[in-house]
């Protein structure tokens, strides 16, 4: 799982650092040292950078001093560039997997800058997630409208088992499967696709030029008086306004007495309207954001809009609920404002800061995190549901979703 997370951090690094401080540098101008000296300086700089900035002061139970001694002994001779990079990655892999530190060589850093596509790329146009267990696969979280994926008939909840005949298990962990799916517009890729509970089939998708298009909130009425809201993978500017307008319209038809917020595919922190949503549904002290040197309390004055402060609330989460959406769920759970249902989240809500090292390489270090009012470390523990249900996104459909059904059951007694 660590190498998959490594690829995810690299793929998302531009978004992750957008709201953080500018990259720090630990390089010094001097004459170019010999290879062994440069490797030693880079090793020491990486170790010290983590030592000074890693958000968890106890390093998640890892003896970081011992780690330095263990790996420094392997620097007695000049190492090849590949061997040195592997040594650096091995060292940071000693830290907890829930707070991954990511190392990039100078060449990888430059290549990422060249490959960065922003909101435009060539591929199939789907939001995806990777699972290694119990079966290696790529899950389609959402399909972009008018995309090659949509034109080929791919659906949310489908899973990709192979790309051009090569299984996802054989692609991982050295390469992210997304890199195999993407390719020049006009070329074909054959995906072995399986719908929930269905039989795998091969689908030929003709790649195209894709502009990342956030999906919209999907709001439906369940059990007559319960509103169900599925949040998209990527937020958009008027998302909260759309939520309120839709709930207002539903209330006009028949009073809504329970609300389900589904965050299972809410994968992105960047631009997520955490302040507005916490004000709608929360009130008071909701935890704190902290670094090694500072702590910022999260205190909210609730706004009761369309009965938002009083309406019984269930929140659905899963392994793809990531970042700020995790904070939102954990905060409301901590004050018993919402019942959390689904699968554990992975605690990927730390804020990352990039640091440049003497040889031009770069390391991403988690430098901030969130804890609840009762001091639960969500970055290490994730959000643990009040009602756990082990049904993944590719095991449910819009018509057969036991997780959503459980949320309805939780809210129905409130209506009696």
Return the structure tokens found at 334.
């901590």
Spell out the domain ranges in the chain.
2-115, 120-211, 218-350+366-410
At 312-363, the pLDDT tens digits run 999 999 999 999 999 999 999 999 999 999 999 999 889 999 999 998 899 9
The pLDDT tens digits for 387-406 are 999 999 999 999 999 999 99
- Domain 218-350+366-410 belongs in CATH node 1.10.287.3510: no
Going by C-beta distance under 8 Å and a sequence separation of 6 or more, which residues neighbour residue 300?
A: 278, 279, 282, 283, 284, 286
- pLDDT tens per residue across span 147-162: 999 999 999 999 999 9
**211-215, 260-264, 285-289, 303-307: which has the minimum mean pLDDT?**
211-215
Cβ–Cβ under 8 Å, residues 175 and 11: no
Q: What are the angstrom distances between the C-alpha of 331 and each of 28, 35, 71, 262, 317?
A: 42, 49, 39, 15, 13
- Cα 284 to the chain's mean position, in Å? 27
- CATH architecture observed for domain 120-211: Roll (2.30)
**The residue to which tokens 């470390």 are assigned:** 377
CATH class of 2-115: alpha beta
The two tokens of residue 41 are 């300086």
């Amino acid at each position: 799982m660590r190498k998959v997370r490594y690829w995810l951090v690299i793929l998302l690094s531009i978004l992750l650092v957008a709201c953080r401080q500018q990259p720090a540098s630990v390089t010094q101008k001097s004459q170019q040292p010999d290879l062994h000296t440069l490797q030693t300086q880079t090793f020491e700089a990486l170790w010290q950078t983590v030592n000074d900035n890693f958000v968890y002061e106890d390093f998640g139970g890892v003896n970081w001093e011992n780690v330095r001694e263990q790996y420094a002994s392997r620097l007695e001779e000049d190492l090849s560039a590949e061997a040195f990079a592997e040594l650096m990655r091995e060292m940071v892999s000693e830290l907890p997997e829930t707070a991954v530190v990511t190392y990039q060589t100078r060449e990888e850093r430059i290549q990422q800058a060249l490959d960065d596509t922003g909101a435009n790329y060539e591929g199939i146009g789907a939001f995806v997630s990777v699972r290694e267990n119990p079966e290696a696969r790529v899950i389609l979280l959402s399909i972009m409208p008018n995309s090659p994926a949509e034109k080929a008939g791919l659906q949310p909840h489908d899973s990709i088992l192979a790309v051009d005949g090569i299984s996802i298990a054989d692609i991982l962990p050295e390469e992210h499967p997304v890199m195999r799916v993407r390719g020049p517009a006009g070329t074909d890729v054959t995906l072995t696709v399986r719908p929930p509970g269905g039989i795998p089939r091969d689908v030929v998708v003709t790649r195209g030029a894709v502009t990342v298009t956030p999906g919209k909130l999907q709001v439906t009425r369940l059990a007559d008086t319960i509103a169900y809201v599925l949040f998209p993978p990527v937020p958009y500017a008027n998302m909260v306004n759309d939520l309120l307008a839709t709930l207002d319209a539903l209330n006009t038809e028949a009073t809504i007495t329970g609300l389900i917020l589904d965050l299972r595919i809410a994968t992105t922190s960047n631009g997520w309207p955490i302040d507005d949503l916490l004000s709608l549904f929360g009130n008071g002290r909701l935890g704190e954001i902290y670094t090694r040197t500072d702590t910022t309390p999260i205190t909210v004055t609730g706004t009761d809009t369309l009965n938002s402060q009083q309406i019984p609330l269930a929140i659905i989460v899963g392994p793809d609920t990531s970042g700020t959406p995790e904070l939102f769920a954990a905060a409301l759970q901590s004050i018993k404002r919402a019942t959390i249902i689904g699968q554990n989240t992975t605690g990927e809500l730390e804020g990352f800061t990039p640091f440049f090292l003497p040889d031009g390489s770069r390391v991403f270090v988690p430098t901030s995190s969130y804890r609840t009012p009762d001091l639960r470390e969500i970055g290490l523990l994730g959000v643990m549901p009040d009602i756990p249900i082990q049904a993944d996104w590719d095991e449910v459909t819009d018509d057969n979703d036991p997780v959503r059904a459980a949320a309805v059951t939780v809210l129905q007694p409130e209506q009696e």
